[in-house]
Amino acid sequence: MVKKLGDKMKILITGAAGQLGQDLQKLFEKEKIEYIATDFIEGYTKLDITNLKDVRELVKQTKPDVIINCAAYNAVDKAEKEWKIAYNVNGLSVRNLAIAAYEINAFLVHYSTDYVFDGQKGSPYTIYDTPNPLSKYGESKYLGEKLLSQFFDDYALIRTSWVFGKGNINFAKKVIEWSKKKDELRLVTDEISAPTYTVDLARVTLEIVKERVRGLYHISNEGICSRYEYAKYILEKIGWKGVIKEEKQEDFNLPAKRPKFSKLDNFGLKETLDIEMPHWKNAVDRFLKELFGE
């Protein structure tokens, strides 16, 4: 029998110290939902998701009804050389969690990325589209998707894009830090997608968990922008008076290839849960208010 939220559901969060993990904890505390926060750092229940034995032991000991995997290797450029680490954390570890979840009949939520696509479609990617990653990071995330779907079916797989929140480092916070040190910034105009606020992603995750709706979802804030437009909006909001130079991806010569157009289409979210994501500009406004307390 599937447990509902009213049955005192217990949730285990991996990678709880990350920006999404932090917002999930805040939300669960507000909703009075019992959770176990795991990570590597002090203050959290220690869990190495790359170790199947450790995962099995903790899951059997704590018996969560839901496992939400926020742990990930996100160093896109470093993954070109450290691909085995990326494949292990983003791929094999998902299988570890799936094995443990299956053994206790827990619902598993896992997050993937727009970087599983090659960016050549020219229009937003739907849940129907076939991944074709350009980088080792993208490959590692796609490996996690495949290992998850091969193992069992009691899961929700959420692809998202350009995630930002108050906790930890992200592009939005980097832009703000750069603005304090420089009066000229170079930003790309040909990398296009949509930012996703962790507060919004956490809220939708909870609804998916409450209803225990399985399957693949694309979840990002609505609207579309380039990295240049995204940064420009933030800089205007914080009153930065410097100059932004328009650049192309190739001007930065980064080790990992990024998809040039990887906007995700949220089709399926409203149809299943009657949820519409806020526009990314609205999300940035709320993020800045959270960050600066204004």
- Return the active site residues: 137
Angle ∠(32,38,42) on CA atoms, nearest 5: 110
The end-to-end CA distance of the chain, in Å, is 46
Q: What gap in Å lies between CA 160 and CA 158, rounded to an integer? A: 6
Cβ–Cβ under 8 Å, residues 222 and 282: no
Residues in CB range of 169: below 8 A, 6 or more apart: none
Cβ–Cβ under 8 Å, residues 50 and 103: no
Report how far apart, in Å, the C-alpha atoms of 255 and of each of 47, 142, 249 are: 31, 19, 11
Helix, strand or coil, per DSSP, at residue 63: coil
Cβ–Cβ under 8 Å, residues 186 and 132: no
Name the E strands within the chain.
10-14, 34-39, 45-46, 66-69, 107-113, 155-160, 163-164, 184-188, 192-193, 196-197, 215-218, 225-226, 243-247
For every residue of 217-248, DSSP letters joined together read EE---BS-EEHHHHHHHHHHHTT--SEEEEE-
